[in-house]
Amino acid sequence: MTVTGGSPGNNAMGASGPAPANLGDILERVLDKGLVIAGDIRVNLLDIELLTVKLRLVIASLETAREVGIDWWERDPWLQGREDDGDRRHELEAENRRLRQRVASLESGEDVAAVESGDERASLESGAEGAAKGARRGGRELESARRPSNPRRDDAERRRDDGD
Amino acid sequence: MTETAPDATCVWLYAVTRDAPPPEKAVPGVAGEKVDALQEAGLTALAGAVPEREFGQPAVRHNLENLDWLAAVARAHDAVVRSAIGAEAAAVPVRLVTLFSEERSVRSLLRERGADFEAALRHLDGRTEWGVKVFGDPTASGESESDDTDEVNPGTAYLLRRRAARAERERAVRAATDYGDRLHARLARLSVADRQHALGGAVAREGAGTLLLNGAYLVDDRSFAAFRDAVETVDAETGDAGVRVELTGPWPPYSFASVPGLTDA
């Protein structure tokens, strides 16, 4: 058995030996545990986009992070539950769905382009708000690029345009 | 955001306790500052004035992404919290980065929520948090290759072997998870309160194996011997099976610091 931290025989921790050495263990507690006070405070860790902070931290110092064993937050439900990360998760889920459909259609020999184009539009509609403007513009370009492949719809639109 | 004076400070809160730690245990704070014991309504808040330019917004956001900065701050925070805990004295540890604009706000918090802090402290009196991690390597156990596939052609034999290996691996992972659950149940019976922290599939220390259990236990100091025996017994029983048990602590009760109404669920 490995025992880290002060001597387990002596529970008065201030008086006993050194603090547990593993940074990962400490961060796991001081970042995600401990009393959370809501109310008359200026800054709280909750006010800070913690997931972003932690992920960037892992990416920025991957080696150090690995050494101290602190990539636990990547799948931390407390962090995953934050609303401002919802959009990104939706995007990933949409992408996942899209890829599954693509695999399924490839396996069944279906026309991949048809599946892709249908789903792309759906994912753009549910896309992140911040990216919505650009995405919508992109969507229109995609659609206009796709038009020639759909002569019937093209004709109908042309007729409508002519009527105007 | 308004401009702040270069020497402006805000107040970093570490812990709430009943009595200030004795002066000989004085530990510097996250900014190297002297930690003050703010006494109000029979409670003591350990808090320190930290420079706004390093700990205020937006600086703190940026600094949190610096692992070296975060490591130093986390250790300093933990050290101050520990200094508040004595043989008799409990303390409610506060999560990292809890900043007040001034001391007065901390004092009014103690006044307004005094009864809640009192209840939390009573719950923690004479109890200590311990962490138990169990690492295992589910793939280590018997991946025996059977030879009864001689009859079929090599391709089929390969696939059969693959399928058997996969089934064996799945069974081992399930058994390992069950094992973690059983140990947790056993340790939970010996503690006052328990929490299972995220396994995350991670804690990627060299050669550590898969994390099967990451538990936190609030143990009455009088029953700690029994708790430790249970952990040791498990370690001895499983020594050969590629399972490693790690006991960490004593910890300030980070995982059990909840004050109803103050805690964000």
Q: How far is B145 from chain A (nearest CA, A)?
A: 32
Q: Which two tokens stand for residue B161?
A: 């072997």
pLDDT score for B20: 80
Q: Which of residues 159-188 of B touch A (CB under 8 A)?
A: none
B2: in domain: no
B116: in domain: yes
Last residue of a domain, one of A81, A99, A119: A81
Q: How far is B235 from chain A (nearest CA, A)?
A: 6
Q: How far is B165 from chain A (nearest CA, A)?
A: 26
Last residue of a domain, one of B125, B149, B171: B125
How many residues are given for chain B? 265
- My answer on whether B173 and B71 are in the same domain is no
With a cut of 90, say whether residue A108 has pLDDT above it.
no
Contact B263 A48 (CB under 8 A): no
With a cut of 70, say whether residue A22 has pLDDT above it.
yes
CB contacts of B221 in chain A (<8 Å) are 11
Q: C-alpha B223: how far from its chain's center?
A: 21
Contact A44 B201 (CB under 8 A): no
pLDDT confidence bin for A82, thresholds 50/70/90: very low
- My answer on whether A142 and A88 are in the same domain is yes
pLDDT score for A164: 46
Q: What is the mean pLDDT of residues A14-23?
A: 53
pLDDT score for B106: 94
B262: in domain: no
pLDDT confidence bin for B252, thresholds 50/70/90: very high
CA neighbor of B45 nearest in space, from B78, B12, B72: B12
| Pair A120, A98: CB distance under 8 Å | yes
Q: Residue A5 is nearest to which of B25, B250, B259, comparing CB atoms?
A: B250
B243 interface with A at CB cutoff 8 Å: no
With a cut of 90, say whether residue A132 has pLDDT above it.
no
Note the pLDDT tens digit of each residue in B127-165: 999 999 888 765 555 445 555 556 678 888 889 999 998
Note the pLDDT tens digit of each residue in B5-48: 778 999 999 999 998 888 788 899 999 999 999 999 999 999 99
Note the pLDDT tens digit of each residue in A35-73: 887 767 777 777 776 665 565 555 544 555 555 555 555
Amino acid code (one letter) for A83: E
Q: How far is B187 from chain A (nearest CA, A)?
A: 15
Give the residue numbers spanning the domain of B148.
128-255
* Minimal-distance CA residue of chain A relative to B246: A2
A69 interface with B at CB cutoff 8 Å: yes
Q: What is the mean pLDDT of residues A122-127?
A: 42
Predicted TM-score (pTM) of the model is: 0.68
- Highest mean predicted confidence (pLDDT) among B16-20, B194-198, B215-219: B215-219
- Other C-beta atoms closer than 10 Å to the C-beta of B61 total 16
- Other C-beta atoms closer than 10 Å to the C-beta of B167 total 10
Residues of chain B above pLDDT 70, percent: 84
Q: Residue B202 is nearest to which of A12, A46, A74, comparing CB atoms?
A: A74
Distance (Å, rounded) from C-alpha A32 to C-alpha B262?
15
- My answer on whether A96 and A127 are in the same domain is yes
Question: Which one has a higher pLDDT value, B78 or B236?
Answer: B78
A71 interface with B at CB cutoff 8 Å: yes
Give the residue numbers spanning the domain of A46.
33-81
Contact B75 A61 (CB under 8 A): no
Q: C-alpha A68: how far from its chain's center?
A: 24
The count of domains in chain A is 2
- My answer on whether B16 and B120 are in the same domain is yes
Last residue of a domain, one of B110, B125, B140: B125
The CATH number given to whatever domain includes residue B211 is: 3.30.70
Q: Residue A48 is nearest to which of B92, B97, B216, comparing CB atoms?
A: B97
A59 interface with B at CB cutoff 8 Å: no
Instruction: Specify the range with the lowest mean pLDDT, choosing from A7-21, A31-45, A77-91.
Output: A7-21
Give the angle B191-B193-B194 at the CA atoms, nearest 5°: 95
pLDDT score for A54: 60
pLDDT score for A127: 42
Q: Which of residues 37-56 of A touch B (CB under 8 A)?
A: 37-49, 53, 56
pLDDT score for A30: 87
Mutate to test the interface with A, among B97, B105, B132 (most CBs of A within 10 A): B97
CB contacts of B263 in chain A (<8 Å) are 35-36
The label of the residue with tokens 């400070």 reads: B9
pLDDT score for A2: 62
B223 interface with A at CB cutoff 8 Å: no
ipTM beyond cut 0.85: no
B4: in domain: no
pLDDT score for B125: 92
pLDDT confidence bin for A7, thresholds 50/70/90: very low
The count of domains in chain B is 2
Question: What are the CA-CA distances from residue B135 to residues B171, B187, B204, B213 (Å)?
Answer: 17, 16, 11, 7
- My answer on whether B105 and B142 are in the same domain is no
Mutate to test the interface with B, among A16, A22, A27, A29 (most CBs of B within 10 A): A29
Q: What is the mean pLDDT of residues A140-153?
A: 42
Q: How far is A122 from chain B (nearest CA, A)?
A: 32
The three-class DSSP label of residue B103 is helix
Q: Which two tokens stand for residue B186?
A: 């056993």
- My answer on whether A107 and A124 are in the same domain is yes
Instruction: Specify the range with the lowest mean pLDDT, choosing from A114-118, B18-22, B94-98, B186-190.
Output: A114-118
With a cut of 90, say whether residue B203 has pLDDT above it.
no
- My answer on whether B118 and B164 are in the same domain is no
Q: How many beta-carbon contacts under 8 Å exist across A and B?
A: 209
Task: Give the 3-state DSSP-derived string for chain A, with helices as H, strands as E and coil as C.
Answer: CEEECCCCCCCCCCCCCCCCCCHHHHHHHHHHCCECCCCCCCEEHHHCCHHHHHHHHHHHCHHHHHHHCCCHHHHCHHHHCCHHHHHHHHHHHHHHHHHHHHHHHHHCCCCHHHHHHHHHHHHHHCCCCCCHHHHHHHHHHHHHHHHHHCHHHHHHHHHHHHHC
Alpha-carbon torsion (A108, A112, A117, A119), positive or negative: positive
- My answer on whether A112 and A71 are in the same domain is no
Distance (Å, rounded) from C-alpha B28 to C-alpha B79?
8
Contact B228 A24 (CB under 8 A): no
Contact A3 B78 (CB under 8 A): no
Q: What is the mean pLDDT of residues A7-21?
A: 46
